[in-house]
Structure 1
Amino acid sequence: MRLLLSALFMLFSLVLVTPAFASDETANQKIEELSQTGEIIYEDDEIKVVDFGNDPEISEAIFDHPDSEVNGAKIDIVPFSSVNGPGGRSSIVASNTGRSVYWSVKPATLWPFHFSGVVKLRYHSGFKRDAPVGSMGALGQTVSGGVTMKKNNGGVAYLSGTAYALSRDKYRVLPGVNTSFRPN
């Protein structure tokens, strides 16, 4: 009887867990596929910085990623990977390979704007690297980009920056927008 109950519990657990992993995998694949587009704005031996511009499909894939939930069960696993505030919405998520982090920013303005920011990479080894990021958007659009690491030992990526609107208003990314990335 114990063996039968244990086997039933194990099968029931698999039924509950498999859809969650499948949706994470689908979201990661979608971001990876979309990230093949974009313009390389900087590259060296350690990192590559890509600007996706104001492509709404990529921005939505980043904002809709399961790790980018603001109010949900993921908040204790990936804290502050997406933040809403008076300056707008910003999000940063890591790829499932651990090699890339993707960011997206939607300032609370209807004016054309230029976003200028930094993705701070803080590796578990103690190594630090800052990747300048930025893009231009118009009429309430969302801008996004990515940073690909050639090698890493895992760590945390932080997004910061400001959108400067044509109306001379500034929209800052709220502090603490971060995600952890795993070693590869």
Structure 2
Amino acid sequence: MKKCFLSTVFMLFSLVLVSPAFASETDSPALEDFIEKGEIIYMDDEITIRSFGNDQEVSEAIFNHPDSVTATNENPILRSSITGPGGRASIVDADSGRAVFWSVKPATAWPYNFSGTVKLRYHSGFARDASVGGMGALGSTVSGMVTMNKNNGGVAYLEGTAYAISGDKYTILPGVHTSFRPN
């Protein structure tokens, strides 16, 4: 009886110690939580383009995603996230393989307009470009999502430029990409 009681006490005590350590993992939302969020900008039979505007929660989820491997401008090799003199840009795929999330944070304190393209290059040889963009202010981020109705897997590239009200332009360094799996 005494062994059973002590075992139970140790088990409950260990759960109390372990629970806070794992609580931070569930606090950060998964990208799939945002699939139905945002405003639909464009939709056809193949793709749907959504804008999240300057929603910080979505941008942080994209920038902090485990697949968002970062490179700096000294090392501009192909990565899903890149930081350079123009700011930070990131593109990651959802676990479902049906969506690609992007986020841009230009290195400006001025209001800006971002105009860009998500280039979808499927393994089947089919190519599709999705125009993306948005407006931001005072160091904020702009983000969005491109949903594919069906695909055979491929690679998505993010390109674009943010134009600040001051007249400066901030171009995404080349090579920001992510691969998406077939669904």
TM-score, normalising length: structure 2: 0.80
In structure 2, what residue type is equivalent to 1:110? A
Q: Corresponding residue for 2:52?
A: 52
How much has 1:35 moved relative to structure 2?
Answer: 3.3
Q: Corresponding residue for 1:143?
A: 142
Percent of residue pairs identical: 68
Q: Does 1:62 align with 2:62?
A: yes
How much has 1:27 moved relative to structure 2?
Answer: 9.6
Structure 2 gap ranges (5+): 1-21, 72-77
Answer whether contact 1:155 1:182 (CA < 8 A) is retained.
yes
Report the 3-state secondary structure (helix = DSSP H, G, I; strand = E; otherwise coil) of the residue aligned with 1:62: helix
Q: Corresponding residue for 2:40?
A: 40
Answer whether contact 1:49 1:148 (CA < 8 A) is retained.
yes
Identify, as 1 or 2, the structure richer in helix. 1
Q: Corresponding residue for 1:165?
A: 164
**Which digits, 9 at most, give the CA deviation of each residue in 1:78-136, with x for residues without a partner?**
x4100000000000000011100000000000000010000000000000000000011
How many angstroms apart in 2 are the aligned matches of 1:26 and 1:136? 30
How many angstroms apart in 2 are the aligned matches of 1:29 and 1:157? 22
The alignment yields a C-alpha RMSD, in angstroms, of 2.1
**Which digits, 9 at most, give the CA deviation of each residue in 1:15-41, with x for residues without a partner?**
xxxxxxx9xx96996211123211100
Answer whether contact 2:70 2:79 (CA < 8 A) is retained.
yes
Q: Residues 145 and 167 of structure 1: is their aligned pair in 2 closer, same or farther, counting only changes over 3 Å?
A: same
How many angstroms apart in 1 are the aligned matches of 2:27 and 2:79? 18
Q: Corresponding residue for 2:8?
A: none
Answer whether contact 2:29 2:61 (CA < 8 A) is retained.
no
In structure 2, what residue type is equivalent to 1:87? G
Structure 1 gap ranges (5+): 1-21, 72-78
